[in-house]
Amino acid sequence: MVTVRNQSENQKLERVINASQKNNDHVWMGLFRDSWQWSDQSVSSFRYWNTREPNNIGGNENCTVIYYPPQGEWADISCSGNQFAFVCHEDKLILIQQNLTWLESMRYCRQHHVDLVSVDSVEMQRRVGNVVKRASTESVWLGLHNFCSMNMWIWLNGEVVCYQNWALGHGLAPENCRIEKRKGAMESGREYCWISLPESRKLNFICTN
């Protein structure tokens, strides 16, 4: 079920509920009481509890609903004995099994989806690793490029590479980087490490939705 990681996503969920919900009732979310984890096992500190929530009345309110009509606030509630509408989680990672150069891959993602994927956390590394298993090439393009003038790697979402999972011998800017333009890819086998390759290599790639 749907995860909500920030206020913007919570507002998007409200709009979805407003557009689809015909009866005044609650709507299930993918948050449950196990140190309050999301059902897709992702981690987020964002919460938007209603006043005096979560209150765990009866000691068995282990699931979460968003109020309808939505004020955007959440409440804990028993997981059983209640039948409400729910919102499914849409997979935001799309493996494209076409063999394109890095620039072609980026253009494809921006035209048909959002962008080439940026792997800027351990959680995103895990999610991309699950997707890349289905690739038909030995590695897949990521939204990772070398910023030659500053000798650093940057994600297309603007984040500087802090979390790293480079394969041994990769991740260093080439000495002739102005000539040999290299981009980042993820290996599709074993440890799903990152490697740097000439941007002209044709590979599968992963878009964000």
Alpha-carbon Rg for the chain, nearest whole angstrom, is 21
In the prediction, which pLDDT does 24 show?
Answer: 59
Return the beta strands (E) in 33-71 as ranges: 37-38, 63-66
Computed over every residue of the chain, the mean pLDDT equals 83
**CA 195 to chain CA mean position, Å:** 21
Domains 7-86 and 93-208 share a fold: yes
Spans in the chain with pLDDT lower than 50: none
Round to whole Å and give the CA distance between 14 and 11: 5
In the prediction, which pLDDT does 207 show?
Answer: 94
What are the structural domain ranges in the chain? Answer: 7-86, 93-208
Phi, psi dihedrals of residue 189, rounded to the nearest 5°: -135, 155
Confirm if 9 and 48 have CB atoms less than 8 A apart. no
Cβ atoms < 10 Å from Cβ of 42? 16
Which residues partner with 96 through β-bridges?
Answer: 205
**Class (C level, CATH) for 93-208:** alpha beta
In the prediction, which pLDDT does 183 show?
Answer: 92
Q: Which CATH superfamily is domain 7-86 in?
A: Mannose-Binding Protein A, subunit A (3.10.100.10)
pLDDT tens profile 44-94: 678 889 988 999 999 999 999 987 666 778 999 999 888 888 877 666 889
Say what percent of the chain tops pLDDT 90: 31
